A and B are shown apart, each in its own frame.
Chain A
Amino acid sequence: MKQTIGLLTKYFGDIIEVQPGLRDETFILLKDASRIRESMELLRDNGFSMLIDLTAVHYPKREQKFELIYNMLAMEPLLRLVVKVPLEGKYPEVESVSSVFKTANWYEREVYDMFGVRFKNHPNLKRILMWEEYEGHPLRKEFPLEGDNLHCYD
């Protein structure tokens, strides 16, 4: 793990910040979202061969309203690394990593569907869980739990 962090700081320098986890996780904050594809490639070629999960968290009160969470897994030896990428703006746009990990294709579609984060150079950026004509992004904090009234019957 130390090797990986050393490698990341060597290539990315200041924009990497290691955050202590609550339990045994290692969190890495990547402050520059435009270099996410580069960092994923670097991690993939250095042991972290699987992207286990990709999701987002909405923080409406923060300045950087969204945080992408890339959950990486190295298999030999087993290591887990969580790369967090804060994003600015109401509808942020970030480089797609679906060319680095094929599994990111659907995960990114889900993040787009649920949070409204757009991915550049994604082969097929459509809604995945909601239907295509749907408006709004359900996992944003301002979205009401009971749903909007647009799709209710009178």
Chain B
Amino acid sequence: MTDIKKEIDIKTDRMIVNMGPSHPVTHGTLHIVLELEGETIAASHTNIGYLHRGVEKLGEYRTYQKFIPFTDRLNYTSSINNNVGYTLAVEKLLGIQSPPRAQVLEVIACELGRIADHIVCVGINAVDIGAFTAFLYIFKYRELIYDIFSRMTGARLTTSYTRIGGVSRDLDDETIQLIRKFLREFPSAIDELEALLTKNRIFYDRARGIGEFSLDDAIQYGYTGPCLRAAGLEWDLRKKMPYLGYENYEFEVPTGTRGDVYDRYLVRVEEMRQSVHILEQAIENIPEGPIIIQDSTIALPPKEDVYNTIEGLISHMKLVMEGAKAPAGEIYCATEAANGELGFYIVSDGGNMPYRIRVRPPCFPIFSSFDEQVQGYMVADAVAILGSLNIIAGELDR
């Protein structure tokens, strides 16, 4: 009897496999320790924090304007969405609104950012599963978006596009032509991507039914964004709690049914189409007017005033040296970033710097479910699930 028991013990011996901190599929630095029984995952332990830079601490020592570049480094694949989310929060704290033209420019920036983010997520998820061709086809368009960004903002990745009360630069005609060209070409690229992946037998087998997550679990874990929609709930802050005039645009919110890797892929692809649809409406209806509010205590005055009038010079200097003053109080402002709900909780004590600034990253709660989600799947499925959750270490660790 005892001998048989011994043999069973040997068979169930678990193997420990380390994924990361530096591993091709982690796309950022995270560490996953997998306990394997054969090739099945019996347990998983995640370690994060390798990219922790103390963004929230740094924010407490800077004026509201000077925090904007830090938001670039949160979700670096769609940094422009973070810029918009942060400035909306500060605008809410100050009780102001950016002018209509700036709002439309921000919508254009946000949707381009969303497309770029989804391209990265879908493309890289496909690469991890083994479909390299689809990645090469779609990634060209991310490059085109970054070309547009570099014309719009002056930088490809670290955009820092928005300012409190507006945006930093106006959109010129050539950039508008670039965006129009992109909108003409991109839908056929999505078709190409879908032709390569959606009904691809290998991709389907690797993605369907993998990482299935029920809606109840998703809500328990605080899922937002594409991952929640893939689980079957039509939840999009752009529809439910419109900001930046999203209520004026016509678009649909795609949902999935099973919440697996395949549904997440389908939701993201459909969202790219919807973003194109929003962009088509936005680009044709850019109102005339200023791009930043005309209040020299919040936004920098125009350069002509700074160089030619003493008032302009003084208000420029005061704003740079002291920053904008915010009323005392606490606010929470959430936007629909590419990954889900990106929120900023700001506690102000009435000074020119936040008393406490909290970034609510969409990845953090989503990734906390990873350990539970991969249990019982194969090692290769863990790779697929990780890719479909779109974990960006920059915003995970802050």
B356's nearest neighbour on chain A, judged by CB, is: A57
Number of interface residues of B (CB under 8 A): 43
A49→B219 contact, CB < 8 A: yes
Which B residues lie within 8 Å of A75 (CB)? Answer: 219, 233, 235
Given A103-B220, A130-B52, are A22 and B360 also a contact pair (CB < 8 Å)? no
Which B residues lie within 8 Å of A145 (CB)? Answer: 57-58, 60-61
B331 → A minimal CB distance (Å): 5
B365→A103 contact, CB < 8 A: yes
Q: Mark B43-73, 1 if CB is under 8 A from A, else 0.
A: 0000011001010111011000000000000
User: What's the Cα separation between A23 and B92 when bound, in Å?
Assistant: 7
A27→B330 contact, CB < 8 A: yes
Which B residues lie within 8 Å of A101 (CB)? Answer: 220, 222
6 contacts across the A-B interface (CB closer than 8 A)? A22-B330, A23-B329, A57-B347, A103-B365, A103-B368, A130-B49
Nearest 3 pairs of A and B residues by beta carbon: A22-B329, A103-B222, A129-B49
User: What's the Cα separation between A25 and B327 when bound, in Å?
Assistant: 15
Which B residues lie within 8 Å of A114 (CB)? Answer: 56
B36 → A minimal CB distance (Å): 21
A131's nearest neighbour on chain B, judged by CB, is: B49
A69 at the B interface (CB under 8 A)? yes
B365→A106 contact, CB < 8 A: yes
CB proximity to B under 8 Å, residues A76-106? 78, 80, 82, 101-103, 105-106
Which B residues lie within 8 Å of A107 (CB)? Answer: 364-365
User: What's the Cα separation between A7 and B220 when bound, in Å?
Assistant: 22
A42 at the B interface (CB under 8 A)? no
A102's nearest neighbour on chain B, judged by CB, is: B220
Which A residues lie within 8 Å of B372 (CB)? Answer: 102
A103's nearest neighbour on chain B, judged by CB, is: B222
User: What's the Cα separation between A101 and B365 when bound, in Å?
Assistant: 11
Q: Mark B333-369, 1 if CB is under 8 A from A, else 0.
A: 0100000010101010000000110101000110011
User: What's the Cα separation between A54 and B240 when bound, in Å?
Assistant: 22
Which A residues lie within 8 Å of B332 (CB)? Answer: 25, 53, 71, 80, 82
B343→A53 contact, CB < 8 A: yes
Given A21-B331, A145-B57, are A129 and B397 also a contact pair (CB < 8 Å)? yes
Q: Mark B299-314, 1 if CB is under 8 A from A, else 0.
A: 0000000000000000
Which A residues lie within 8 Å of B355 (CB)? Answer: 57
User: What's the Cα separation between A140 and B49 when bound, in Å?
Assistant: 18
B278 at the A interface (CB under 8 A)? no
A55→B358 contact, CB < 8 A: yes
A131 → B minimal CB distance (Å): 7
User: What's the Cα separation between A110 and B372 when bound, in Å?
Assistant: 19
Partner of B57, one of A25, A27, A55, A138: A138
Which B residues lie within 8 Å of A138 (CB)? Answer: 54, 57
CB proximity to A under 8 Å, residues B94-121? 95
A52 at the B interface (CB under 8 A)? yes
Given A23-B95, A53-B343, are A129 and B48 also a contact pair (CB < 8 Å)? yes
A28 at the B interface (CB under 8 A)? no
A125 at the B interface (CB under 8 A)? no
User: What's the Cα separation between A27 and B332 when bound, in Å?
Assistant: 11
B369→A102 contact, CB < 8 A: yes
B58→A102 contact, CB < 8 A: no
Which A residues lie within 8 Å of B369 (CB)? Answer: 102-103
User: What's the Cα separation between A24 and B161 when bound, in Å?
Assistant: 27
User: What's the Cα separation between A153 and B267 when bound, in Å?
Assistant: 48
